[in-house]
Structures are given as C-alpha cells and as structure tokens.
Amino acid sequence: MTTITFVLFPGVTQLDFTGPAQVLSRLPAATPVIAARSLDPVMTDCGFEIVPTATFQDAPRADILCVPGGHGVTGALAHAPTIEFIARQAAQARWITSVCTGAFLLGRAGLLAGKRATTHWAYAHLLPLVGAVHEQARVVEDGNTITAGGVTSGIDFALTLVAREAGREVAEQIQLGLEYDPAPPFDAGSPAAAGAERTRSVKERVYDAAAARMAAALKAGQ
C-alpha cells in the first residue's frame, strides 16, 4: 500500500492538488490522504471548499508527500504546524514533491537546500531564498525530490512519478485513461510562447504584487 499525502491550506490552488491527485490516486494500491490543520473544509482559490481526510496530528506516515501551491502559500509559510508537518512527513517519505509555489513550503521546511527545483515562472527568481537552484523545466527531479512548475505541470509531475513507482506502461495507461492529450486552442502557456509584452502585462496585473508578498513572507522567516 502506498500512502500519498497531500497538504492543504487556505487559498490553495485547487488544480495544483486535484491534477496530481487524479493521476496518483490511480497508482496501484494507492491510498490518498488529504491533510490539513483540522477536518474543517479548506477554501480553495476557486471559491469552493475541499474536505480533508486527516489532520496534521493524526495523518499516517506518507510514502509520497505532495505540497501544492497557491496564493495561500504566503500565509502557510508563517503557520508553524504546517511547516512542521511537512518536515516530519518528508523525513520518512520515499518521494518529496511540490507543485507550483508549493516549492516554497518545501523550502521553508529545509528540504530544497542545494537542490535543483522549479516553480511557477513568476516566482522562480525567489527560489534562491530557500536555498534552491532554479532549473527551467515543467518537472525537475533531484534525488527523491520532484518539483513541478505552475499549476498544470502537476499532471506531468504525477505521471513522471507513477513511472518511477510502477513503470512507464502503468503511467501511459493512466494517461490514456484520463485522455491527457493536451492540444490547447492557443500557444500562450509559457513566457516564451506568450511573448515579452503579454508576459509583462500578466506579471504587472497579477504576479508582481503576489511575488513581492511571497518574498516578504520568505524573508520574514529567515
């Protein structure tokens, strides 16, 4: 039996969690655990709630630890029980993983020092604040640590991890079952594809202030 523990916090980006969960829950003999501060529903960035299945106090030992991201990461960085839970679970996990800005929670728990890692493109310049070396890729593996880029990269990371755990054939069967065959209507899913002007506009409108808040939260814990 493989216990896959997802860490939730208020303001989590739901696809950071649900994308990998959809894939990893199909891993043979998988048991997903959704851990949070309490069993109260956790509000996502989409305006709906997810109900945890365990608390930080009673969650079982994780074989695979997955930490999603979201704007709520800045608050979670200052919540000692969340960071302590991540560190405690990571000490025994086979795989330590994150999606998007969840990388900074791994970093705050001391799990990215000297490691190659990735995160959402708008926050990648902050990875050195947690001792990580940024590698520009959707999925970055360094030992038993796997970090994924922004949001949808979590599906790619999960399939990568399934292949590591159960083999490529199983991963490809899951991919087929989910009909994960991306063919987006627009070619604007990365800064390189979107172009400098569009990237600048999105950064200024959405991410510059958010990245500044993240930087402040990271520096406050140093």
Q: Which residue segment(s) compose the domain that 87 sits in?
A: 2-220
Strand partners, 34: 6
**pTM of this structure:** 0.97
pLDDT 10s digits, 137-185: 999 999 999 999 999 999 999 999 999 999 999 999 999 999 999 999 9
pLDDT 10s digits, 68-103: 999 999 999 999 999 999 999 999 999 999 999 999
Q: Counting Cβ atoms within 10 Å, is residue 169 exposed (0-12), middle (13-18) or buried (19+)?
A: exposed
- Active site (catalytic) residues: 100
pLDDT of residue 31: 97
Number of domains comprising the chain:
1
The mean pLDDT value of the chain amounts to 97
CATH assignment of the domain containing 6: 3.40.50.880
pLDDT 10s digits, 120-133: 999 999 999 999 99
DSSP state of 203: I
